[in-house]
Amino acid sequence: MSNEIELIKDPGLPEHKLRQSDVDPKAADRAERQVAILFGLSSLGTIVFIYSYLFIPVDRFVFIPLMGDQNLHQLLLGLGFAAALLFIGLGAVHWAKTLMPDHEVIAHRHELRSPDADREAFVKTAKDGAAAAGLGRRSLIKRSLGLSLGLVGLSPILFLGDLGPTPGNALRTTSWKAGSRLVTDPGDRPIRPEDLEIGAVAQTLPELAPGKDHHSLNDIAKDAVLLIRLRPEEFNLDAERLSWTYQGIIAFSKICSHMGCAVALYEQTTKHLLCPCHQSTFDVTRAAKVIFGPAARPLPQLAITVDAEGFLIAQAPFNEPVGPSFWERSA
């Protein structure tokens, strides 16, 4: 035995196997019929499609086991369309597999790189071209062109400048003012403390400014406030925050301090608020302190009290920006 390593050999392409349709004309005819039947089924599908489009009303519903109530128009339209397409595909593939020649073909593959002479010629052409333009020698042209291209490249930034205003103070302000009444959302009714039972939650907004007839989405995105009523002794707050509550009623911004979703889930037994987007969990009894999840800050608390008529009002605007963080938030 020699010491040279001999690899196992490539036996070469296996012998071609004939299909039944290659040797038996009957099988080939059978395959032809099968293909024709598949194409025929496609035509049937189109007929169902046309019939449904023309004759089944858009609002006809039928009950189908497992699927429940289904819109018959959409269902049959879709099934007809699907069949029309699917059977064309199946027919074509069956045709290719049974009747078209299935001899494997070998094509040669050449390395992609060009012959050395071509590559050199290419490099030379490129060099000659660059030399002819004189870029290397005439550095004044090169530099001034670079400068002008760079400057004109800035123009899209200017062109797009009017896409929107600069932020200004917008992220720090809401519609809440000292004395704003809290009103229900929806309904815009002012709320008295006795409207809220212990354990109740209400979604509120500031009362509409005179002359406005509804809350814009931009306002709601900053103004939405949740009212929650607990027993006053359940709070675990410092004196200042406690003075922001009224008879066990506490108010928080509903806009999550993480990414701005509405913190809409309140669990009465644990007194936790949960944001359904990323599950940040806030403890209502401890001024919405984050007890779980990715949020890093408590929900801003709105200081509330009642006015002379006994309606709940804001003592003052929020003392910090509501909603998600931004770079200059604490600046």
Partner 1 sequence: MSARERIAGNVASYVDDRTGAAAWMKKNLQKVFPDHWSFMLGEIALYSFVILLLSGTFLTFWFDPSMREVVYDGAYVPLQGVEMSAAYASALDISFEVRGGLLMRQIHHWAALIFMAAIVVHLMRVFFTGAFRKPREFNWILGIGLLTLGIVEGFLGYSLPDDLLSGTGIRIAHAIIQAVPVVGTFFAFLLFGGEFPGIAFIPRIYTVHILLLPGIFLALITVHLMLVWYQKHTQYPGPGRTEKNVVGYSLMPIYMAKAGGFFFIVFGVTAFLGAVASINPLWLYGPYTPGQVTAGSQPDWYMGWLDGLVRMAPPLEPVIFGYTLSLNILIPGLIIPGIIFTGMALYPFIEQWITGDKREHHILDRPRNAPNRTALGVMSLTFMLVALLNGGNDLIATAFDLSINQIMWFSRIGIIVLPPLAFIITKRLCLSLQRADRELVLHGRETGRLVMMPSGEFVEVHEPISPEKAWLLTQHEQNAPLELEESDSRGVRRPGLLKSKLRKRFAVAHAEQVPKPTMNDVREIEHH
- The structure tokens listed for 131 are 């030399």
Q: Minimum CB separation from partner 1 for residue 157, in Å?
A: 10
Candidates 85, 61, 90, 87; CA nearest to 73 is 61
Residue among 208, 277, 306, 316 that touches partner 1 (CB under 8 A): 277
Q: How many CB atoms lie within 10 A of CB 80?
A: 20
Site for partner 1 in 29-48 (CB under 8 A): none
Q: Give the number of other CB atoms < 10 A from CB of residue 152.
A: 9
CA distance 193 to 310: 8
Among 17, 55, 65, 105, binds partner 1 (CB under 8 A): 105
Q: Determine, following the binding rule CB under 8 A, whether residue 317 of this chain makes contact with partner 1.
A: no
From 17, 69, 106, 233, residue interacting with partner 1 (rule: CB under 8 A): 106
Tell the smallest beta-carbon distance from residue 231 to partner 1 (Å). Answer: 26
| 3-class secondary structure per residue, 237-305 | CCHHHHHCCECCEEEEECECCCCCCECCEEECCCCEEECCCCCCEEEHHHCCEEEECCCCCCCCEECEE
**Residue with smaller CB distance to partner 1, 61 or 122:** 61
Structure tokens at 94: 């069956």
CB 237 within 8 A of CB 245: yes
Q: Which of 68, 132 has the CB closer to partner 1?
A: 68
Binders of partner 1 among residues 120 to 149 (CB under 8 A) are none
Which one of residues 34, 46, 247, 325 is an interface residue with partner 1 (CB under 8 A)?
325
- Distance in angstroms (rounded) separating the CA atoms of residues 108 and 106: 7
253 closest CA partner among 328, 187, 176:
176
- Smallest gap from Cβ 304 to partner 1, in A, equals 18
For residue 306, which of 191, 184, 183 has the smallest C-alpha distance? 191
- Binding partner 1 by CB under 8 A: which of 25, 65, 153, 165? 165
Is residue 74 near partner 1 by the rule CB under 8 A? Answer: yes
Find the part of the chain contacting partner 1 (CB under 8 A) among 97-105, 144-152, 228-236, 299-307. Answer: 97-105
Residue 6 vs 116, nearer CB to partner 1: 6
According to the binding rule CB under 8 A, does residue 187 interact with partner 1?
no
Using CB under 8 A, which of 71, 184, 285, 315 touches partner 1?
71
**Positions in 238-267 near partner 1 (CB under 8 A):** 254-255, 258-262, 264-265
Q: How far is the CB of 32 from partner 1 (least distance, A)?
A: 14
Stretch that binds partner 1, among 118-126, 176-184, 242-250, 291-299 (CB under 8 A): 291-299
User: By the 8 A CB rule, do 73 and 63 touch?
Assistant: no
Which run of H or E residues covers position 202?
Answer: strand 201-206
**H or E element at residue 71:** strand 68-71
Separation CA 304–CA 21 (nearest Å): 86
- If one asks whether residue 156 binds partner 1 (CB under 8 A), the answer comes out as no
Interface stretch with partner 1, choices 17-25, 95-103, 125-133, 229-237 (CB under 8 A): 95-103
Considering the rule CB under 8 A, would residue 153 count as an interface residue with partner 1?
no
Rule CB under 8 A: which of 192-231 touch partner 1? 203, 205, 214, 217-218, 220-222, 224
Of 2-10, 24-32, 176-184, 235-243, the segment contacting partner 1 by CB under 8 A is: 2-10
Are residues 6 and 70 in contact, defined by beta-carbon separation less than 8 angstroms?
A: no
Q: Which of 67, 117, 149, 151 binds partner 1 (CB under 8 A)?
A: 67
Q: Quick check: helix, strand or coil at residue 103?
A: coil
